[in-house]
Structure 1
Amino acid sequence: MSKFLSTSLTLVFSSAIAMQAHADLTVVSHGGANKAAQVKAFYEPYTQATGTRIIADEFNGEMAKVKVQVDTQNVAWDVVEMEMPELARACDEGMLETIGEDPAISKLEPELLKDAVQPCGVGFFVWSTVLAYNAQKLKTAPEGWADFWDVEKIPGKRGLRKGAKYTLEFALMADGVGPKDVYSVLETKAGQDRAFAKLDKLKPYIQWWEAGAQPPQYLASGDVVMSSAYNGRIAAVQNESDLRIVWNGGIYDMDAFTIPKGAKNREEGLRFIQSVLKSDAQKAYAQQIAYGPVNRTAVGMVDANRRSNMPTDEANLAHQVAISASFWADHGDQLEQRFNAWAAKQ
């Protein structure tokens, strides 16, 4: 074999190995401002550091899209963003890889917020569903969910996410249940009936939303006078609007990165998740969008103005309640079915 041919073959094999080592990684987010922040803080730096190209896909949290890939053993997604209740249910149903005890992840646990590491996923930011309003449209600023339900005090349409989760909690808070007591009440049949009865009173005034981009649009256009909304979606447009957030009665949650069962690039997915949890990446993400870091060191690295708009700011956190992932894992199917039947009635 000639020296030239030998060198050429070596280069070909080396290139093949490099391509295999840096296979494309498909990462699925919930889109919008959140996705844009992830691209800047996570995807682009990871590609620059490793050579792995990130294919950025998105969905609205439809677990059926994950389930069909796993059931058919044709998993196209490598890393998927999930809310904690969906993570708990998907883990219970065997749809996800067990990664919480993997040394690559477990060694990071002391650096992260409590409960960030779960058996089948890792929280990577904290966000809230809050009451939002347009200060240009309202003479009286709402103070909480009781005002949201008071159509005589503040006339007009209200926006709510079309689903049982958050909606039932807000209904109970509007009915006088304290944020810290919401789940103990909602666990009872009487509490669930109470929440739906409260929703009955507001139903004629509700404009439902399903995608996170809709509440700021509805508020800006005047279609609704108030809406539940993701805090990051409101913060993202506050420089060019007069949209405001009421933290009182907000529900905060973590979004987690997971790996679907049978994903082709499990190890690369783990390396990506590790990179996302580092303090510099967490700070960069929080500077892009007003969601709180899960890395404890990163919290103090974010500038003070940005921190005041994050759900993890002490002043904001004091008036909110943590979502109960276990409650929704246990009761989600039943309550979503009841909600859908209720919403379909005229």
Structure 2
Amino acid sequence: MKKVVVIGAAVIDVLLKSKSLRVLKSHQVEGGVAMCEVMGGKIEAENGILVSGGGGTNVAVGLHRLGEAVKMISRVGDDELGEILVKELVKENVDLSFLQRTKGKTGISAVLVATDGRRSIVTYRGESGEIERNEIDWEEIKKADWIQISSLGGEVELLEDLVNFAVEHGIKVGVNPGKKELGQKERMLRLLPKIDLFNVNRMEAAEFWGGNFEEEEVLVGKFVKAGTRLLMITDGDRGAGVWKGGKWIKMEAYPNKSIDDTGAGDAFVSGVVAGLLQGRTAEEVLKMGLANGGSVVTRLGAKDGLLYKKEMEKWMKRKLKTVEETLGVL
């Protein structure tokens, strides 16, 4: 069992799944696909839940279920939603001694889920977007084997502090940045060579480099040339890839029907980090991430489908198509 410190958002997710939500293709929106409803309209949902969410809590719970000792750094309000969130994490045995409690409001995400599992999210970060550097117990963090950083709402200065602290004290560090961090490209580029695991999805990779979404080989090559040590790029139901030892290893996704895509990326990260801490091969680590993500999408919400160790071993026995490539752009 390794000691992991996870830092990231802690919010309440309110999820509503409705077959009436419309998914439309449009060149007028980013990504070319939009979820919509008539302005002023009202639709019925077939299912709805209120649960803890946010990248910090999702990754923390995922890692603990896979056998790691986890402490989480985040910030929640002293309101009723904060109490719900804390109770869920205590039930999952996540160590909350680093959790900051304030008189502000706990963050909320409204998650609208379409029939095919795709979702749109509106997030009010609340207190989780105000993590205070001077309230972090840096001496205790020195005891960690790994620091895993999720989206910090654009707080790149805090991200820099955490990465530099990890490097200074010989602690492994993984980063799964959010859109606002990736938007500060030059500062992120300076951090890349210091990070032990860097994980983004394919759309984020394309936006970061301003390139073509379809040119995966070019995107990977740019990250490698920028000094990225261990790169993982997820690609939804097309699987994921890892850059390791001069090879780009692509693995297909588990062929599961998606109920809700919420938290799939966080589940992937927790599976990958657990695999790395267990000393697994690059292929095994990639497969653990895909297994955890593949399980999560079969349930509504970001945590219900997170795998425990014994469940993970069963998923690992399933065969997935794997392709190794030497990139011509390098």
Give me the TM-score of the superposition, normalised by structure 2: 0.30
Radius of gyration: which is bigger?
1
Higher strand share: 2
More RCO (CA 8 Å, sep 6+): 1
Higher helix share: 1
